[in-house]
Amino acid sequence: MFERLELLIGHEKLLKLNSKTVVVLGCGGVGSYAVEAIVRSGIGHIIIVDADTIDISNLNRQLMTNQSNIGLLKVDVLETRIKSINSSIKVTKIKEFITPDNINILFDFKPDFIIDAIDYLKTKKALIKECLKTKTKFISVTGMGNKKDATKVRITDLSKTSYDKIAKELRIYIKNEKIGGKIPVVFSDEKPIETKETIASIAFVPGVAGLLAASYAINKLLEV
């Protein structure tokens, strides 16, 4: 099934990707698209992490959702989709809410790459710190809510971000903790649209963010 990919990167690098383990933390609007691209790129082992069930409000942006699987666990639905694409890939599901207290669950697998697609700031901070400490390759996705221009989404270093509350909090944390090292992020420099309470969303902005995160992951793994 990977003939076209092999034409692009060669047989040896395809085998290399097949030997790698990638964690996708968060399987929502961003993470579901990241999972899709990772699976279709020849990775041998994917670890999908999410404790949530599918809600009707997810249908506008989360890749695996439809009206027949509302109420089911996201990782269970994603596993079915993953196996329908590539039956030989190893899938590990973590049905837990990851916090700074249990984040070592992810690192116990010794992953080759971690895609952070969650909004919970405390965990994002802990993940960045642990990835830099253990020299685990990663990319963190900042806020994609209340934005509608997918052309504004790009990959940059955390220090170069703006117009983003999550990125601002992360920058403050990095500065206060005196954490050194480059911190790659998927970021949108679109000024967010103001909403009253619930964060608004559109299909293609988080989707593009997820695909960019997967692109970065795969290309970094190919460098090794």
- Please, which residues have CB within 8 angstroms of residue 165's CB and are 6 or more apart in sequence? 143
- Tell me the pLDDT of the chain averaged across its residues: 96
Residue 195's pLDDT is 86
How far apart, in whole angstroms, are the C-alpha atoms of residue 56 and residue 47? 25
**Is 224 a residue whose pLDDT tops 80?**
no
How many CB atoms neighbour CB 66 within 10 A?
Answer: 12
Structure tokens at 63: 């890749």
The helix (H) or strand (E) run that includes residue 172 is helix 165-177
Do 143 and 167 contact (CB within 8 A), yes or no?
yes
pTM of the model: 0.97
Do 205 and 192 contact (CB within 8 A), yes or no?
no
- The DSSP symbol for 190 reads S
How far apart, in whole angstroms, are the C-alpha atoms of residue 183 and residue 142? 12
**Is 194 a residue whose pLDDT tops 90?**
no
Residue 192 sits in a domain whose CATH number is 3.40.50.720
Give the confidence band of 15 by pLDDT, cuts at 50, 70, 90.
very high
Q: What proportion of the chain, given as a percentage, has pLDDT over 90?
A: 96
Residue 162's pLDDT is 87
**3-class DSSP assignment, residue 26:** coil
pLDDT, mean of residues 106-121? 97
How far apart, in whole angstroms, are the C-alpha atoms of residue 210 and residue 115? 9
How many structural domains comprise the chain? 1
How far apart, in whole angstroms, are the C-alpha atoms of residue 68 and residue 88? 26
How far apart, in whole angstroms, are the C-alpha atoms of residue 44 and residue 31? 18
Q: Strands 21-25 and 45-49: what pairing? A: parallel
pLDDT digits (tens, 9 = 90+) for 18-69: 999 999 999 999 999 999 999 999 999 999 999 999 999 999 999 999 999 9
Domain boundaries, position 139: 3-223
Structure tokens at 150: 């997918």
The helix (H) or strand (E) run that includes residue 81 is helix 74-85
**3-class DSSP assignment, residue 107:** helix
In the block, residue with structure tokens 């790659």: 184
pLDDT digits (tens, 9 = 90+) for 163-181: 899 999 999 999 999 998 9
How far apart, in whole angstroms, are the C-alpha atoms of residue 98 and residue 92? 15
How far apart, in whole angstroms, are the C-alpha atoms of residue 132 and residue 126? 10
Q: Strands 90-94 and 45-49: what pairing? A: parallel
Residue 206's pLDDT is 98
